[in-house]
């Protein structure tokens, strides 16, 4: 696999796949298919299932009602099968986490791992990440956004599909609490240049350091790229206004 090709690229999510109904891979929802287990509402028993079935894709979520404890919230967009999020959630039981991913198979893997680990501070949502950030997460709720190895869409004519585009900093600003931070990683030099350009041009953000405790948590895709000798680019931007 070429380092800059979208690894395990998937078709874009449709409105139907955004609804979070259950099937092995992205695709239209069929009424005969089994719904994923219910999410983890307050007081749910351990192992209840971490995949949150969205009751509506028009109403914003209420994070204070989604978790057992109201705690600071962090969100990973494109969490894959959760190599980062699982470790991070285990290290920080005093924070809540939402993983957003469009592929149900990957969410199910993370659901199983999170269930085995007894995590109650992690919730998974199957939907398009940009839509989640703009329309489902209430404004000023996230302390951190983690975006690790988003699909690079290397072909020029496909770049419009990139998650971190010209609009993204404004959407991220809306989702973050003041002082909140966006953490970015990619193997794709051109995408990294674009990430830096769009955040650099937004007066609401200032570049900041990525703490070592975060860089220590290597994701599955990161390990794959490192094994191929591909350089990993990282950046972080703090909402300052
Ligand atoms: C290259 S993988 C990286 C996964 C993980 N962050 C890691 O570093 O191991 C990108 C992931 O983002 C998901 N993804 C890509 N575009 C997405 C979108 N617009 N909305 C939700 N998930 C998306 C893909 O399904 C895939 O699991």
Q: How many domains does the chain have?
A: 1
Q: Is 110 helix (H, G, I), strand (E, B) or coil?
A: helix
- Tokens standing for 75? 């969100």
Does residue 109 sit within a domain? yes
- Atom in ligand 1 nearest the alpha carbon of residue 161: 19
CA distance 8 to 181: 28
Q: Is residue 91 part of a domain?
A: yes
Range 195-208 average pLDDT: 98
Q: What are the tens digits of pLDDT across the range 95-146? A: 999 999 999 999 999 999 999 999 999 999 999 999 999 999 999 999 999 9
Q: What are 146's strand-pairing partners? A: 76, 183
In terms of Cα–Cα distance, which of 163, 144, 168 is closest to 152?
163
* 3-class DSSP assignment, residue 217: coil
pLDDT category at 238 given cuts 50, 70, 90 is: very high
Residue 148, pLDDT > 70, answer yes
Is 177's pLDDT higher than 60?
yes
Give pLDDT tens digits for 45-59. Answer: 444 499 999 999 999
The pLDDT-based confidence of 39 (bands split at 50, 70, 90) is very low
Q: Would you tell me how many other CB atoms lie within 10 Å of the CB of residue 152?
A: 24
Q: Quick one: which of 109, 81, 125, 106 has its CA closest to 25? A: 106
The answer to whether residue 93 sits within a structural domain is yes
Return the higher-pLDDT residue of 179 and 44.
Answer: 179
**One of 10, 59, 81, 151 is an active-site residue; which one?**
151
Q: pLDDT per residue over 76-100, tens digit each?
A: 999 999 999 999 999 999 999 999 9
Residue 205 lies in a domain: yes
* pLDDT at residue 14 in the model: 34
The more confident residue out of 4 and 93 is 93
Residue 17 included in any domain: no
Q: How confident is the model at residue 20 (pLDDT cuts 50, 70, 90)?
A: very low
- Cα 229–Cα 102–Cα 190 angle in degrees, nearest 5: 40
pLDDT per position as a tens digit, 210-236? 999 999 999 999 999 999 999 999 999
Q: From ligand 1's centre to the CA of 38, what distance in Å? A: 22
The pLDDT value recorded for residue 191 is: 98
Cα 204 vs. chain centroid, distance in angstroms? 21
Measured CA to CA, the distance from residue 191 to residue 225 in angstroms comes to: 15
Q: Whole domain around residue 207: which residue ranges?
A: 68-152+162-239
Pairing of strands 205-208, 233-239: antiparallel
Cβ < 6 A, ligand 1 pocket:
7, 10, 78-80, 83, 100-103, 106, 128-130, 148-151, 163, 219-222
- The strand pairing partners of 208, in sequence order, are 236
Q: Report the pLDDT value the prediction gives residue 198, as an integer from 0 to 100.
A: 98
83 assigned to some structural domain: yes
Answer yes or no: is 212 within a domain.
yes
- Mean pLDDT over all residues of the chain? 85
What CATH number is attached to the domain comprising 223?
3.40.50.150
Nearest to 125 by CA among 47, 190, 61: 61
Between the CA of 221 and the centroid of ligand 1 the distance, in Å, is 10
> 114-131 in b/e burial notation, b at 16+ Cβ within 10 A?
bbeeebbbbbbbbbbbbb
Atom 12 in ligand 1: residue holding the nearest Cα: 78
Residue 158 confidence class, pLDDT cut points 50, 70, 90:
very high
Q: Is residue 11 part of a domain?
A: no
Catalytic (active site) residue 94: no
Distance in Å, CA 162 to ligand 1 centroid: 11
């Amino acid at each position: 696999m070429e380092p800059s090709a979208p690894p395990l690229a998937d078709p874009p999510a449709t409105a139907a796949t955004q609804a979070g109904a259950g099937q092995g891979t992205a695709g239209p929802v069929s009424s005969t298919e089994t719904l994923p287990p219910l999410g983890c509402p307050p007081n749910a028993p351990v192992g209840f299932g971490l995949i949150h079935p969205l009751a509506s894709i028009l109403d914003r979520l209420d994070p204070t009602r989604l978790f057992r404890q109201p705690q600071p919230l962090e969100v990973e967009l494109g969490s894959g099968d959760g190599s980062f999020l699982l470790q991070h959630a285990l290290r920080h039981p005093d924070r809540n986490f939402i993983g957003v991913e469009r592929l149900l198979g990957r969410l199910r893997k993370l659901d199983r791992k999170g269930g085995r680990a007894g995590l109650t501070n992690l919730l998974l949502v199957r939907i398009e990440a940009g839509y989640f950030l703009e329309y489902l997460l209430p404004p000023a709720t996230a302390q951190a956004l983690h975006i690790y190895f988003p699909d690079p869409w290397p072909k020029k004519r496909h770049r419009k599909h990139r998650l971190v585009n010209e609009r993204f900093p404004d959407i991220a600003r809306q989702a973050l609490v003041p002082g909140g931070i966006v953490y970015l990683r990619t193997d794709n030099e051109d995408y990294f240049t674009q990430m830096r350009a769009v955040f650099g041009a937004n007066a609401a953000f200032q570049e900041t350091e990525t703490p070592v405790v975060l860089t220590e948590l290597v994701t599955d895709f990161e390990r794959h790229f490192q094994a191929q000798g591909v350089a990993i680019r990282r950046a972080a931007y703090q909402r300052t206004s």
